[in-house]
Amino acid sequence: MADVHERLELEQSFPKQRDAPTLKRKKLLSSDYVIKKRQPFGTASKRIKDVFVTNKTNFKAQLKKCEKLLNNGMSEVIIHGLGAAVTRACNLALQLREAHYGGIELDIKTSTVSIIDDFEPLNDNLDYETINRNNSAVHIRAFRKFSVSSLKYHEEQKQ
């Protein structure tokens, strides 16, 4: 067993990681600032086949939008969910697959998205602040196992 002096020498030779200097974030009071959240996904790169799921949008409307895209000749739909909407995006993809009787395959990818919050001061003596934070995201690619046009062609040949 090591005595007190040996333990002190060991502690000095192996500094603790917890004692490393950390950056402390200021407390920003919501009464002093207006919070403006930036869009996490680039709206310029939005494609027709992208569906962004939120907790505020009606679930049936989101399902109908995906159905409409797939029925109008789109070969795939990409469903994006961020933060609390991840479970809702997964449910939407599963409902879509069930509605097509297993004719839809799902390719799921998860990621971490950096989000920027802007704090605009209500008083003139305060400064503008921005805070970067990370949030989990899911991107689900729902695509057909087989082409609908090949099924129509196959049915026409049988008749």
Strand-pairing partners, residue 79, are 51, 140
What's the token pair of residue 87? 């479970």
Q: Taken in order 144, 147, 152, 158, is the CA torsion positive or negative?
A: negative
CA distance 122 to 86: 33
Q: What is the pLDDT of residue 48?
A: 85
Q: pLDDT digit of tens for each residue in the chain (159 aa)?
A: 555 555 555 555 555 555 545 555 566 666 778 888 877 765 546 788 899 999 999 999 999 999 999 988 888 999 999 999 999 999 999 999 999 888 899 999 999 999 888 888 888 888 888 888 899 999 999 998 765 555 555 555 555
Looking at residue 3, its pLDDT comes to 57
The pLDDT of residue 156: 53
Dist. CA 45–CA 94, nearest whole Å? 25
> How many C-beta neighbours within 10 Å does residue 53 have?
23
User: Is the entire prediction scored with pTM above 0.85?
Assistant: no
Q: Which helix (H) or strand (E) holds 20?
A: none
